[in-house]
Structure 1
Amino acid sequence: MSESQPPNYNEWTKERLIEKLQEYELNDKKRKSGQSELNLSDETSKQKKKKPKTFDFTRYEFRKIALKFAYLGWNYHGLAFQKHMNGAETVESEILKALHKTKLVSSIDPACCEFSRCGRTDKGVSAMNQVISLSVRSNLSGEEISNSKYNERELNYVKILNKVLPPDIRIHSVCLNPPKDFDARFSCTYRHYKYFFESDGLNISKMQEAASLFIGEHDFRNFCKLDGSKQITNYKRTILSSSIIPSEHGANIYVFDLRGSAFLWHQVRCMMSILFLVGRELEQKAIITELLNPALYPSRPNYKIASPFPLVLFDCKYDEKTTNWIKCTTFDGLHLLRFNQLWGDLKTKSTIISTMKNVLGNGKTESTKTINLEEGRIHNPATYVPISKRETLETADEVNEKWMLKKRG
């Protein structure tokens, strides 16, 4: 039979026809089974290749804004974002994560959005009006961004971020049209700090006299912690106002109220530490004038600095004519409830601590002149070592040189 001619099934026997039919059925099953396996393999391959949708930032315009925010610093490892924190969160890391989560910036890396902060605060320090400037995604066109009349149509940055931020960090104001060359750090005209403390056992009058000696431009190398990595050589800073004033939060609560154009690392806490010594009458106010003279003290005497927890960066001031802040005046009831709960918890803890203090002291306290707040322990004035007789730390030049030598290896 020719290969081109089909078989003549009329001549086939019944047995042969059944055998051929079974052969067709078996081949058909194999074909269908192979096709199913192929389809399943293709589907699995597609699932593996399928990637999550990425947000297309190129579809949007970006605008420079400034944000003003408050935070309680007790639960954070300072303000500044750090790449290698080993699990310890900072205030900025929380804000950058919120910005990235809400697709306002493309990365949590501050370098991606022209990020700048007004003033760096240490672990435990809080702030009421801290400021950052950065570039964020806009809801407007490039032409609309440059015209403030379209601001009402812009994204509500305050509301968007507060929805995903921790309750102890709150954005409360935004500047949508800062000056073209605006920078949160370099555009600030002055910083305002407040340090809260109890007046028990302190000579407030002497502390006030001593605080006033800080006003003006001075060399504050003996009122800071040196940092060789910064290679600072100029320690002169200008203090605009410096005073001890009563606080509105209690009859025996006072505030070291301080305004200055810029500050060194730990400067406010060092200033407060010496003021405590004057208030305890362990030092005379003249010690401040002496420490401000690098000719008398080329390097800082070894004294401990005051606690960070009572310190607050209260405000950061900018040119009001060119910087227009839009303040959010309403916060949701749940957030206010959380603040009331926190306030109640801390008041209760304060009451319990006061009760324990009275129980341990049988209602009596040591003579106020024997408590040294600088070092946080009971101190006998007769054995107190004056600042002028203490060992001094390394000079600024020595710290800088030591750091450079270590860097060179």
Structure 2
Amino acid sequence: MGLVSKILRIARIVPRPSPEKLEYSKWNKDKLIDRIMDLEGERKRKADEGTGESEAKVSKKRKTDKGELKKRKKKDKPFDFSKYNTRFIALKFAYLGWNYNGLAIQKEPTPLPTVEGTILQAMNACKLVPSMTPQDYNFSRCGRTDKGVSAMNQVISLKVRSNLTNEQQLDESLDKKEINYVHILNQILPDDIRVSAVCLRPPKGFDARFSCQHRHYRYLFRGDDLNIEEMKRSASLFEGEHDFRNFCKLDGSKQITNYKRTIKHSSIIKINETMFCFDLIGSAFLWHQVRCMMANLFLVGQGLEKVSLISDMLDIEKVKQKPIYDMASDIPLILYDCSFPEMQWISTDQSDFKALQSNRRVFSLALDYKLKSTVADIFADTLSVDQSDLGGRTRINLGDGKGKVVTTYEAMLQRNFMDSVDTVNEKFKKRKASKRGSVIS
């Protein structure tokens, strides 16, 4: 469509106030474009008037649009962390682990998010930390839990953005003026991760990992067809300092040579008529240690092994290499508590509306799982589920309800053994050297 035709089409909609006839065919291009702009502007104004919008409303709308544009530009502008002070804090939190690929951020992408990654993502979103790289803000975690494992009193320490100057941070009377870290994070985090308390002034030299005095684990299990008394006797044998290389997963990448750990408390506790737990307190634990310990306790409880198995496995002169066996399931394991030196933890006021909102979400989540659990029990009862008849086979209890069914049970100390600690470490070093050589070549 030519410029003249377009002007005439618009002019029919918005007639020129003056009766003067204009000869558009004699106009140059620039003049025609100016005329189109005038007519389109007048048409828009008449359309606004037709909808009943007053000039004041139209003007207000234009200002609002400009304001939204400014907000958008401000939002797009990178957050300048250099304008704010930071402070070193500790956070206490709890999480249900079955929706996560463990606590710690992984180097490689994982099918499920990690708890730590979810928390740091929330912190980054509300501008508490500048990046998703923990090394940028002196990050440390108390206990590293694996995929599926839950925690009730996990602790991390790190530097975060602060509203206060370094001097003001030392004054407890100004704590209420500080960022409400607990509330802000609970607003963003999913319902199965909850921050319960913050310590604004951790002890000097505090580190969430190395300042922990002991870690308390609990492993839940049903007592069906298990000799609980024999399990109690077995559990007590873990107490004291022992070499636990036969009760963990060997990891060559860590090049561990000392597998001695001290267990302060080890027992079997009854929770209710059907549920029990393996209650364990120690200063530090090896990779998959609790699940390996529980797997052997199940064997004793089923009568497949004697109580002496635990003593034999702890004696590395007698059992020098770890026999091949399956670990207990991950879901029933809980990092129940972590103990630290005296610290000033600040919890949310339970009568405060902000805390009530978070509590409501936790209650709703817990009720949801209870209802599903009840429905699942009815489902199993309706189908008359019975695992007692296995046609002469043996089901090894692994804590997950399914276990491992074998035709003939093979005694633990008669099985094949895994590589020794020295062999595992040496194999890893050779693989690493081989990869380094291939990269250089």
The answer for the alignment partner of 1:281 in structure 2 is: 303
Aligned match for 1:215, one of 239, 243, 248: 239
The answer for the alignment partner of 2:367 in structure 1 is: 340
8 A contact 1:280–1:368 mirrored in 2: no
Shift of 1:346: 2.6
The answer for the alignment partner of 1:352 in structure 2 is: 379
Alignment map for 1:163-182 (pairs within 5 Å) = 163-182=187-206
The answer for the alignment partner of 1:8 in structure 2 is: none
The answer for the alignment partner of 1:37 in structure 2 is: none
The answer for the alignment partner of 2:28 in structure 1 is: 26
1:144 paired with 2:172, answer no
Whole-angstrom CA distance in 2 between matches of 1:279 and 1:25: 101
The answer for the alignment partner of 1:156 in structure 2 is: 180
Whole-angstrom CA distance in 2 between matches of 1:158 and 1:395: 46
Shift of 1:335: 4.2
* Aligned residue identity for 1:336: F
8 A contact 2:394–2:409 mirrored in 1: no
1:326 paired with 2:353, answer no
Whole-angstrom CA distance in 2 between matches of 1:301 and 1:111: 38
Q: 1:368 to 1:105 in 2, by over 3 A?
A: farther
SS of the counterpart of 1:319? coil
Identical pairs, percent: 50
* Aligned residue identity for 2:414: K
Shift of 1:365: 5.7
SS of the counterpart of 1:244? strand
Whole-angstrom CA distance in 1 between matches of 2:112 and 2:146: 13
The answer for the alignment partner of 2:417 in structure 1 is: 392
Shift of 1:325: 1.2
Aligned match for 1:310, one of 329, 332, 349: 332
The answer for the alignment partner of 2:117 in structure 1 is: 93
Larger mean Cα displacement after TM superposition, 339-348 or 197-206: 339-348
Deviations 1:326-376 (A, max 9, x none): 1234341344223322321233223323443x2556xx7679995421491
TM-score (norm 1): 0.83
Aligned match for 1:68, one of 72, 85, 92: 92
Alignment map for 1:216-295 (pairs within 5 Å) = 216-247=240-271, 250-295=272-317
8 A contact 1:148–1:177 mirrored in 2: no
Unaligned ranges ≥5, structure 2: 1-23, 36-69, 435-441
The count of residues paired between Structure 1 and Structure 2 equals 368
SS of the counterpart of 1:214? coil
Deviations 1:123-167 (A, max 9, x none): 111111111111100111110112223212111111100111111
8 A contact 1:201–1:369 mirrored in 2: no
Unaligned ranges ≥5, structure 1: 1-21, 34-46
Shift of 1:179: 1.1
Aligned match for 1:105, one of 129, 137, 142: 129
Whole-angstrom CA distance in 2 between matches of 1:260 and 1:30: 86
Shift of 1:379: 5.2
Q: 1:296 to 1:28 in 2, by over 3 A?
A: closer
SS of the counterpart of 2:237? helix
Whole-angstrom CA distance in 1 between matches of 2:100 and 2:419: 30
8 A contact 1:280–1:369 mirrored in 2: no
Deviations 1:155-191 (A, max 9, x none): 1111100111111111111111101211100000000
SS of the counterpart of 2:159? strand
8 A contact 1:79–1:92 mirrored in 2: yes
8 A contact 2:100–2:115 mirrored in 1: yes
Whole-angstrom CA distance in 2 between matches of 1:71 and 1:29: 69
* Aligned residue identity for 2:90: A
Whole-angstrom CA distance in 1 between matches of 2:181 and 2:120: 13
Q: 1:377 to 1:158 in 2, by over 3 A?
A: same
Shift of 1:293: 1.3
Shift of 1:388: 1.2
Whole-angstrom CA distance in 1 between matches of 2:168 and 2:391: 67
| RMSD of aligned residue pairs (Cα, Å) | 2.8
Shift of 1:302: 0.6
Whole-angstrom CA distance in 2 between matches of 1:176 and 1:26: 73
